[in-house]
Amino acid sequence: MDVKSQRIAYGEALVELGTEHEGIVVLEADLGKSTMSFMFEEKFPCRYFEMGIAEANMISVATGLSLAGKVPFCSTFAVFATGRAYDQIRVGAIAGLNFNICGSSCGLSDFGDGSTHQSVEDIAIMRAIPGMTVLSPADAHQTKKMVRAMADHPGPCYIRVNRSDLPILTESVGEYKIGQIDVLRDGAESHVVIFATGIMVSMALEAAEKLAETGIAATVANVGTIKPLDKAAVLALAAKAELVVTAEEHSIVGGLGSAISETLQGNLTRPIRYVGIDDQFGTSALTYDELLVHYGLTVENIVEAACGRPKTAGGSI
């Protein structure tokens, strides 16, 4: 299976947009070689603004550029975007301004730098802002489509981008629009529906294969848009299954699992199990896989949830 970095796809998408639209501008907070926004700088240096380690100011400048008719994309690590600049993001959202934020190295993917650089609560933070669009691509292919959609979407948008190379899963999916949920494996009258996002989508597909070997039919839905969530699609998929499982590289507090639960509440009664991070911060490790195992974000954990078994303890680091 082909793999590609979401970060590279983000940088490529910015360059493509910049070629097509002179109003596209890019702002960076001293991490351009990591977020890959430097690709835009090389092509359009006069439309690239290096703001230094000043994330709050970066968002303030972006909102001003938006008022001037530009379409700004702001890039930095997810943990810095949602933490250091929250007030400025919120004020820009109150004004309904069109500005875009890339939260790079999301989740645990910055494995070597530990909890201060790992964002496991960014979806929850951004979901809580009225009018904010929250995107979480499954692969590089979907990342490109989402960035293009953000440029034309009114209001503020946030996209979380993984640091690692991830499998390409969505090439066969047609045109993309913000809000859609893509069924990547249809289990028909399924025993379980797995709503997954980000890196967990590929794991959910592998888990579905393992479940099929034991006679358990699983539908896998790629939830690339966390907000606005397609509630009708969620209810329709859940109605065909006996059990709902959510899988995300994020805290189980306020993330995809919470969004799915909120949708089911009062509309449809189904047992639901969550594969996510159990209200903890990240930590440092030698490899990304070590962290995924430690926090219970694996194919086996999804299989266990789908079989109704309790979550097993993670490995030591």
pLDDT 10s digits, 51-66: 999 999 999 999 999 9
Residue 119 has pLDDT above 80, yes or no: yes
Residue with tokens 């047609």: 174
Residue 101 has pLDDT above 90, yes or no: yes
Tens-place pLDDT, residues 208-242: 999 999 999 999 999 999 999 999 999 999 999 99
Q: How confident is the model at residue 175 (pLDDT cuts 50, 70, 90)?
A: confident
The pLDDT value recorded for residue 174 is 82
Percent of the chain residues past pLDDT 90, beyond the cut: 93
Secondary structure of the chain in the HEC alphabet?
CCEEEHHHHHHHHHHHHHHHCCCEEEEECCCHHHHCCHHHHHHCHHHEEECCCCHHHHHHHHHHHHHCCCEEEEEEEHHHHHHCCHHHHHHHHHCCCCCEEEEECCECCCHHHCHHHCECCHHHHHHCCCCCEEECCCCHHHHHHHHHHHHHCCCCEEEEECCCEEECCCCCCCCCCCCCEEEEECCCCCCEEEEECCCHHHHHHHHHHHHHHCCCCEEEEEECEEECCCHHHHHHHHHCCCEEEEEEEEECCCCHHHHHHHHHCCCCCCCEEEEEECCCCCCCCCCHHHHHHHCCCCHHHHHHHHCCCCCCCCCCC
Residue 146 has pLDDT above 70, yes or no: yes
Average model confidence (pLDDT) across the chain: 95
Nearest to 161 by CA among 41, 77, 90: 77
Nearest to 108 by CA among 234, 315, 294: 294
Single pTM value for the model: 0.95
The pLDDT value recorded for residue 227 is 98
Partnered with residue 195 across adjacent β-strands are: 221, 246
Tens-place pLDDT, residues 3-34: 999 999 999 999 999 999 999 999 999 999 99
Residue with tokens 């859940």: 238
Catalytic: 248?
no
Do the domains 181-307 and 3-167 match in fold?
yes
Question: Of the listed 41, 55, 248, 304, which one is catalytic?
Answer: 55
- Six-digit token pair at 257? 């699992």
Which CATH number is 181-307's, of 3.40.50.2300, 3.10.20.30, 3.40.50.920, 3.30.1490.20?
3.40.50.920
Nearest to 157 by CA among 105, 80, 98, 226: 98
Distance from CA of residue 14 to its chain's centroid?
18
In this structure, the dihedral spanned by the alpha carbons of residues 263, 265, 267 and 270, taken in order and rounded to 10 degrees, is 100
Mean pLDDT on 116-125 = 97
The pLDDT value recorded for residue 39 is 98
The pLDDT value recorded for residue 316 is 61
Residue 202 has pLDDT above 60, yes or no: yes
Tens-place pLDDT, residues 265-311: 999 999 999 999 999 999 999 999 999 999 999 999 999 999 976 66
Mean pLDDT on 37-42 = 98
Mean pLDDT on 136-141 = 97
The pLDDT value recorded for residue 172 is 81
CATH placement of domain 3-167: 3.40.50.970
User: How do the domains of the chain map onto residue ranges?
Assistant: 3-167, 181-307
